[in-house]
Structure 1
Amino acid sequence: MDRPAFRAYFLHPRFWPLWLGLGLLWLLALLPYSLLMWLGRRLGGLMYHLARSRRQIAVRNLELCFPELSAAERGSLLRENFASTGMTFFEMAISWWWPAARLARLGRVEGLEHIRAAEAEGQGVLLMALHFTTLEMGGGLLGMQQHMYGMYRPHKNPLFDYVQRRGREQRLQGVIERDDVRGMLKLLRAGKVIWYAPDQDYGAQRSIFVPLFGVPAATVTATSKFARLGRARVIPFTQTRLADGSGYRVVVHPPLADFPGESEEADCLRVNQWIEAAIRQQPEQYLWAHRRFKTRPDGEAKLYKKRRR
């Protein structure tokens, strides 16, 4: 969990295009919030037309999860989702690079008493987040009011990984690589708070199949394992981009009661039921471009078209 160090290697010409893009994003982040969100919507509209493979994944996910909606309703939801995804790029820059005082004016945090109660009893907290497009904003706003660590998956590009870690650690105590189970359990047993998102498809090896929106979904068993072995409470939190453009509402929800329960399957089902209910509150702000149902039970057909090389 050492702080990331700058490497001379990052000055290699292969990274110059990324430096240029990051520099442009940093400059744009100086603009007023309302203008950044307007630009984000326009970027999302462009992505809708250009990112064909991602659009196809999102279309399929919406078909699977919202069969009760008409094609026109799903199409409207899809366009709004891409607008939300476009805003994500600027929200990432805001979360990483805005001064704390300026960032704090964008959000209000509710429900901190649930974390405080666990801390008062010396218990660790597994702070369960979801992959909404506003994920960086939620972590940044909450991290300014609550000491916590974040789990993350290292990026394939070492320069972007460096920038990402630096940005997140402006608001967090530190970050833990997703595979560092020992380090995570050590922190939880010491009564620390860890930001953790279990709502993606990580393959069959660490998962079991339980329904999500009525579709069998490979769901990680790590949530109940971490809670049991780390002697920690699982406390969900969500963030919402407000429709009036004033900022964000971050809500820390009550801890999952009697968790972990009698079986990993029952725990995974409870987690997915909570996730589904949270997504239904703001489906346009969820990351639908992820192939959430990629891993299938033995014998079941694939649900997504094969990627073109």
Structure 2
Amino acid sequence: MDRPVFRRHFLHPRFWPLWLGLGLLWLVVQLPYAVLLRLGRGLGALMYRVAGARRRIAARNLELCFPQMPSAERERLLRENFASTGIAFFEMAISWWWPRERLARLAHIEGLEHLRQAQAEGQGVILMALHFTTLEIGAALLGQQHTIDGMYREHDNPLFDYIQRAGRERHNRDATAIERDDVRGMLKVLRAGRAIWYAPDQDYGPKQSIFVPLFGIPAATVTATTKFARLGRARVLPFTQERLADGSGYRMVIHPPFPGFPAEDEAADCLLINQWIERVVSACPSQYLWAHRRFKTRPPGAPKLYD
């Protein structure tokens, strides 16, 4: 995709409320990081009260994935998850607007040698990530250290889309934004020896998926990771990130590649991925995006799991 370009019609009065909101947000995120964490937790507490539909989805997912956990512990985890979601709102703005040097102080990155080795060998990389609430700021911090291309879906509001893309791409001037459905573009990038961020942990429907257990539940799991790795001749490097409890920033880890991936059997690859997802999410459940209906698509004849 082309670089984001400012358009004169962004100054039309219909965009003034959004400009005002963005301006206020810019002012707020100049506050110290510790203050923004507290503000985010407060926003999350408000969201917990007013976002009933998302709260019910997240609560149901926690019930499905951690059935042995006491209900009081799940409720505590649910509230922490909304606090993390509230913090993510300010992390988004931090990643867009903080000076690069100030932002870089939050980064604790491990495993960059795996990316650099693949680059030195001219091999493309699928940076296999998950939808954690720290997704936006993690991508910005990693992008300061290594060029990472990304899958992209255009926002309905053109002004917000411009601000979002400009904020993301300022850390990664050489990066390419690829439309989510542009398979040919993704393969071209991989075959050119570049790295692309990709997350296979959501329910994209039955068309490109097979049912593989996730937390003991048959889950529609995309086979695209295997296809992209095979057709793009790419290495798959798992990538994890978490917000550190001591307020010092974010730990991001680029892990060694899965051995023998991709295999001949797509189901075996999907199972390997889902088992990895279980381990990673279980290690940091409060920061995962539980508000997504991960088990919406069901095997034929199976009952629905959400209201």
TM-score class, shorter? over 0.9
- Counterpart secondary structure, 2:67: coil
Deviations 1:98-136, CA, capped at 9 Å, x for gaps = 111110001111001111121122110000111000001
Show the counterpart of 1:32. 32
Show the counterpart of 2:219. 217
Show the counterpart of 2:62. 62
Correspondence 1:263-278 to 2 at 5 A: 263-278=265-280
User: 1:27, 1:243 → 2: CA distance?
Assistant: 25
Show the counterpart of 1:261. 263
**Which stretch of structure 1 is more off in the superposition, 154-163 or 219-228?**
154-163
Show the counterpart of 1:44. 44
Deviation, 1:27, is: 1.1
User: 1:11, 1:215 → 2: CA distance?
Assistant: 49
* 1:117 has 2:120 as partner: no
User: 1:293, 1:159 → 2: CA distance?
Assistant: 33
* TM-score, length of structure 1 as denominator length: 0.96
- Do the aligned residues in 2 keep the contact of 1:138 with 1:238 (CA within 8 Å)? no
- Do the aligned residues in 2 keep the contact of 1:294 with 1:304 (CA within 8 Å)? yes
User: 1:244, 1:137 → 2: CA distance?
Assistant: 17
Structure 1: runs of 5 or more not aligned? none
User: 2:133, 2:84 → 1: CA distance?
Assistant: 7
Correspondence 1:164-183 to 2 at 5 A: 164-172=164-172, 173-183=175-185
Q: Which amino acid aligns with 2:264?
A: E
Q: Which amino acid aligns with 1:198?
A: P
- Counterpart secondary structure, 2:41: helix
User: 2:44, 2:259 → 1: CA distance?
Assistant: 39
- Counterpart secondary structure, 2:270: helix
User: 1:218, 1:171 → 2: CA distance?
Assistant: 34
The correspondence for 2:299, drawn from 289, 297, 309, is 297
Deviation, 1:19, is: 2.0
Q: Which amino acid aligns with 2:210?
A: I
User: 2:219, 2:157 → 1: CA distance?
Assistant: 29
User: 1:17, 1:297 → 2: CA distance?
Assistant: 45
Deviations 1:58-114, CA, capped at 9 Å, x for gaps = 000000000010110100000000000000000001111111111000111100111
**Which stretch of structure 1 is more off in the superposition, 243-252 or 296-305?**
296-305
Show the counterpart of 2:247. 245
Deviation, 1:208, is: 1.1
Show structure 1 runs of 4+ deviating over 6 A: none
**Which stretch of structure 1 is more off in the superposition, 148-157 or 177-186?**
148-157
User: 2:270, 2:11 → 1: CA distance?
Assistant: 45
Show the counterpart of 1:235. 237
User: 1:266, 1:47 → 2: CA distance?
Assistant: 39
Deviation, 1:24, is: 1.4
Show the counterpart of 1:151. 151
Deviation, 1:9, is: 3.1
- Counterpart secondary structure, 2:193: coil
Q: Which amino acid aligns with 2:151?
A: M
* 1:13 has 2:13 as partner: yes
User: 1:296, 1:158 → 2: CA distance?
Assistant: 35
Q: Which amino acid aligns with 2:237?
A: I
- Counterpart secondary structure, 2:73: helix
User: 1:161, 1:268 → 2: CA distance?
Assistant: 33
Deviations 1:278-308, CA, capped at 9 Å, x for gaps = 1011000001011111111121121111xxx
What is the total number of aligned residue pairs between the two structures? 305
Query: How large is the RMSD of aligned CA atoms in angstroms?
Result: 1.1
Show the counterpart of 1:190. 192
- Do the aligned residues in 2 keep the contact of 1:10 with 1:159 (CA within 8 Å)? yes
